[in-house]
Structures are given as C-alpha cells and as structure tokens.
Structure 1
C-alpha cells in the first residue's frame, strides 16, 4: 500500500508542478459560478490530492489501531474510505487509458 501511495503522491507532485501557475485553492470541488471557467486539469489534481489524503488517513488510522490509539470502528471507516478512493482512482485511470486507446485508433 505504501508503494501505491508513493506512486500516487509522485503523480500528484508532477501534476502540481505542471499546473504551478494555477493555484488550487480549495480541497473540495465548489460549484462554479457561471462566469468562471473550470479547468479539467485542476479538477483532476483536486481529485488526486483528495484520494492521496484519504489513503494517508486510512493508513495512519490503521497504524493507530495497531498501536491501540484508535477504535476498531474508526479504523474500519478510514480503511473503507481509503478503499473507495482507491477504487475511484483506478476507475478514472481505466477510463483515461480507454480514451487514449480510442484516440490512438482514430484515423488522421
């Protein structure tokens, strides 16, 4: 799990480096005003950073549970939330790969 988190973290760092000119101010998606434009890259950075934070929280809750500092319910909730975030990240990755493959098959 640590390797998965570190790979997600490195991907997030790369995305943040690429979009360094655009500051992501909110950690949650806020409804956009009609006059504002929303950048898809910023949304994906937010989703990835939220997933990484959720995975870190689940891992730290599991460690706290092993040390006896967290209840079983807290550990289960954090781990289930991390699992859901990981499944969402995998689903997004699969869709991106499928879209790339479809685009690469298009005739120019």
Structure 2
C-alpha cells in the first residue's frame, strides 16, 4: 500500500512543506489568526486518517475472504473507505480549482 504522508512530503505539501508555503504567502500572523494550528500538521493528520481507513477496509476484506468477519463488517469498512476516498478527491478538486483561480489573477 502507498504511504500517503510520504507521498505528500515528496511533492512538498505534507508535513512542514505546506506550512512553509503558507508562511511565504503570509509571513506574519495578524491579530485574527488562530494560534496553535499548523496547516501542514492538519493536512498530514487527515491524510494519515484516510490511509488508516483504507487499510482497515483492506484488512476487513481479507478477514471476510477468510471467513473471520461478517459481510456487514466488510461492507461497513469498505463504505467508510469509499467515503474517505470521495472526500479526498473532493478536497483535491477544490485545491486545484483554487490554484487555477489564483493563477488567472492579474498581478
């Protein structure tokens, strides 16, 4: 299985890469900024939870094939993984859309 957090780090959006990118865009936090939240850490956490949900579905499927899990458990795990994947795709699409809007802005 692919390690999503290392994939995010490889393209520079995971871990502190995203935080550095945000810091370049907005180097100083204003009075309205929320303290204690690191965008890169949140992104990494969401990615790792998504990978965990998919791994759980994979494990439940294998247990179902072996007869160690009920069909209901397998279906619930697979549906949770599907929801996770659909959410990740929706977030990706919104990020791409935002990037395209920013790239069209006049400088």
Structure number with larger C-alpha Rg: 2
**1:1-108 map, 5 Å:** 6=2, 8=4, 10-12=6-8, 14=10, 15-16=14-15, 18=17, 36-108=35-107
**What SS class does the counterpart of residue 107 from structure 1 fall into?**
coil
Provide the rounded CA distance (Å) in 2 between the counterparts of 1:8 and 1:80. 20
- Per the normalisation by structure 2, the TM-score is 0.72
Provide the rounded CA distance (Å) in 2 between the counterparts of 1:18 and 1:97. 17
Provide the rounded CA distance (Å) in 1 between the counterparts of 2:5 and 2:41. 16
Provide the rounded CA distance (Å) in 1 between the counterparts of 2:58 and 2:16. 26
1:9/1:69 Cα in 2 relative to 1: closer, same or farther (>3 Å)?
farther
Kindly indicate whether the alpha-carbon contact (under 8 Å) linking 1:12 and 1:49 is maintained by their aligned counterparts in 2.
no
Provide the rounded CA distance (Å) in 2 between the counterparts of 1:42 and 1:9. 11
Please, which runs of 5 or more residues in structure 2 have no aligned partner?
19-33
Residues matched between the structures, number: 89
**What SS class does the counterpart of residue 69 from structure 1 fall into?**
coil
